[in-house]
Structure 1
Amino acid sequence: MFPDLNTGFTYEDCKATADWLLAQTDVRPLVGIVCGSGLGGLADMLKDQVAFNYKDIPNFPQSTVHGHAGRLVFGTLKGRDCVCMQGRFHLYEGYPIQKITLPMRIFKLLGVETVMLTNAAGGLNQDFKVGDIMIIKDHLNIPGFAGNHPLVGPNDERFGVRFPCMSDAYDRELQQLAMDVGHELGFTDFLREGVYCMLGGPSFETIAECRMLSKLGADAVGMSTAHEVVVARHCGMRVFALSLITNLAVMDYDSEEKANHEEVSGG
């Protein structure tokens, strides 16, 4: 269960990767962005881009999911220095969870102070519609319940404390700012807030599982984000996250609807 400390997870490994990246670009990002499935176009909006393929970055995992570009893009967005992940990593790809969340630690060592995460998710809340955007206010980390947790193993105090608090995982000021901006832009009809539930995947949920998760208080379900949030908060970064509701979870045994990857694209 504990990671092999010689496989790129240590503070020194992360520092070496961050130093390598900083030597390749003059951008000094304060904001780190993770683009979920189908949302990688945000990285294309960065100005003065310097991009790296994941396969070329020391110690970095590689995305194996169709629809995830697999690039780390540095640049400016509205005058702010940013770094953007075009494509993320998932438990179902077979990586240890410490490797999946390694980019969050590298973000911290690059100087990032605020992390913004996006994902594609299935709507469990019966009031949601396809195309809604959900501001994540909290999460259920189901793999973490069973010990598949990114902070399992020896703790390095240079990253954070052994037992980090998660009651404030999602920054409330940023949530309110997003809600205010959404209202100003006239997005009220499709802007929601709710609880995101992470499952390991890669199979989509059964009807019974969807019903259970709904009863537990989840508004949307996907296969990412929660473990990244845990590590980002462990490192002391502020976190803001959004889910794009790409499909509605099937709750009725008489339904003919089925979730599929083309619709959801992996989370």
Structure 2
Amino acid sequence: MNNYTLEEYNVKIEDAKSKVESIIGDFKPRIMIICGSGLGGIVNILSNQKVVKYGDIGLKDSTVPGHDGKLVFGEIGANKVPVMCMVGRLHFYEGYSLQDTTLPIRLGKVIGIETVIVTNAAGGVNKDYRVGDLMLINDHINFVGFAGFNPLRGPNLGQFGPRFLGLSDAYDFDLRRLFFQTKQKLNIQRKVHEGVYFFTAGPTFESRAEVRMIKTLGGDAVGMSTVPEVIVARHCGIKVLALSLITNEGVGSEPPSALTDQDVKLDEGMANHAEVLEAANEASKDVQRIFEETINQL
């Protein structure tokens, strides 16, 4: 398992399970929500909350602004759907192995999770995407995986899934349709697209040439998370619904030429994390409303 032996990794999973169950007792969550940058407010729709800090159960600590580093257990909606909410994810660029960043998914599986809802803040590459739009992910490009970094690398955890995993159905069609129908029923006007999420390692935002490359390769939005979690969830047989909030538009135009006397704006279109969080916070109320009603139907 890269930085763990198979036995060590299984012990970490079982140890985390034991510690969580000592806190939540007989509570049995069926749905897991992973909150992306600025979307931690989703936790506000949970009632009867119990909080577990990552460090208390052997998980790595989240080090990124907008990611609190805790699991929140509670119920959503009139049907009191039992949920585990991951407030603050772990990222590869923080220096953690993909086995560490996806360990919460394995933990979810062993305590009864059946469906994972993954959210993220992403940069829009598709020319039709605007800041504040939502994108239901219907496929992905694991660019980091092309370099050999895959969360399933190493001895296979056979109790969870197969050695060779197919991903043509990674993003559940029925869940995507339910999300969109719910958005329409609630008469929420925010634009929703479907598209391909392009996973890069980060932590830098993309260069202009990289944005053009991503567009050429078929990416509609780009981000630094999600795909490892989706791969492990599917390896565990867990259904996946994944949503990107477009928080900035990728700049793919040619850089300004220095061989001119014309004035240019050198910082035009440059992304920064503060703007990502601001855009996410603005859209979070719509996302919360759709999720609450969608999850209530699961």
Q: Same fold (TM over 0.5)?
A: yes
CA displacement at 1:48 relative to structure 2: 0.5
What percent identity do the matched residue pairs reach? 48
Name the residue aligned to 1:261.
273
Deviation at 1:2, TM superposition (A): 2.4
Deviations 1:152-198 (A, max 9, x none): 00012101110011000000110111111122223355111111111
The corresponding residue for 1:156 is 157
Provide the secondary structure at the position in 2 that maps to 1:228: helix
Q: Which amino acid aligns with 1:31?
A: I
Identify the residue that residue 199 of structure 1 maps to in structure 2: 200
Q: How far off its partner does 1:202 sit?
A: 0.6
Q: Is residue 249 of structure 1 aligned with residue 261 of structure 2?
A: no
Whichever residue aligns with residue 98 of structure 1, its letter is: Q
Structure 2 residue aligned with 1:176: 177
Q: Please, what TM-score do these two structures have when normalized by structure 1? A: 0.95
Structure-1 separation of matches of 2:86 and 2:2:
26
Partner Cα distance (1:70, 1:2) in 2: 23
For the 8 Å contact 1:132–1:244, the answer to whether it is kept is: yes
| Cα distance in 2, alignment partners of residues 193 and 203 from structure 1 | 25
User: How many Å apart are 1:260 and its aligned residue?
Assistant: 0.6
Paired AA for residue 23 in structure 1:
S
Q: Decide whether the 8 Å contact of 1:123 with 1:245 is kept in 2.
A: yes
> Hey, what does 2:59 align to over in structure 1?
60
Query: Which residue does 2:103 correspond to in 1?
Result: 102
Hey, what does 2:48 align to over in structure 1? 48
Moved over 4 A (4+): none
Alpha-carbon distance between aligned partners in 1 of 2:147 and 2:35, rounded to the nearest angstrom: 27
Name 1:39's counterpart in structure 2.
Answer: 39
Give the TM-score of the pair, scaled to structure 2.
0.85
- Kindly tell me: are residues 70 and 197 of structure 1, through their superposed partners in 2, closer, same or farther at Cα, counting changes over 3 Å? same
Structure 1 counterpart of 2:214: 213
Name the residue aligned to 2:27: 27
* 1:6–1:236 CA distance, 2 compared to 1 (3 A): closer
CA contact (8 A) 1:27 1:82 kept: no
Per-residue deviation, residues 29-50 of structure 1 (Å, max 9, x unmatched): 0001100000001112210000
Consecutive unaligned residues of structure 2, counting only runs of 5 or more, are: 257-264, 281-298
Question: What does residue range 77-88 of structure 1 map to in structure 2 within 5 Å?
Answer: 77-78=76-77, 79-88=80-89
Q: 1:70-118 CA distances to partner (integer Å, 9 max, x unpaired)? A: 1100000111000000000111100011111111100101100000000
* Cα distance, 1:6 vs structure 2: 7.6
Q: CA deviation at 1:151?
A: 0.3
Provide the rounded CA distance (Å) in 1 between the counterparts of 2:111 and 2:71: 13
Q: Distance in 1 between matches of 2:145 and 2:27?
A: 34
Contact 2:136 2:176 survives alignment (8 Å)? yes
Q: What residue in structure 1 maps to residue 236 of structure 2?
A: 235
Which has the larger displacement, 179-188 or 218-227? 179-188
User: Which residue identity lines up with residue 221 of structure 1 in the other structure?
Assistant: V
SS in 2 for 1:202: coil
* Equivalent residues of 1:72, 1:85 under 8 A apart: yes
> Is the contact made by 2:105 and 2:233 (CA closer than 8 Å) also made in structure 1?
yes
- The number of residue pairs the alignment matches comes to 264
Match of 2:38, as an amino acid? G
Counterpart contact for 1:22–1:28, Cα < 8 Å? no
Q: Structure 1, unaligned stretches of length 5 or more?
A: none
Distance 2:36 2:52 in 1: 18
Distance 1:189-1:85 versus aligned 2 partners, 3 A rule:
closer
CA RMSD of aligned residues (A): 1.6
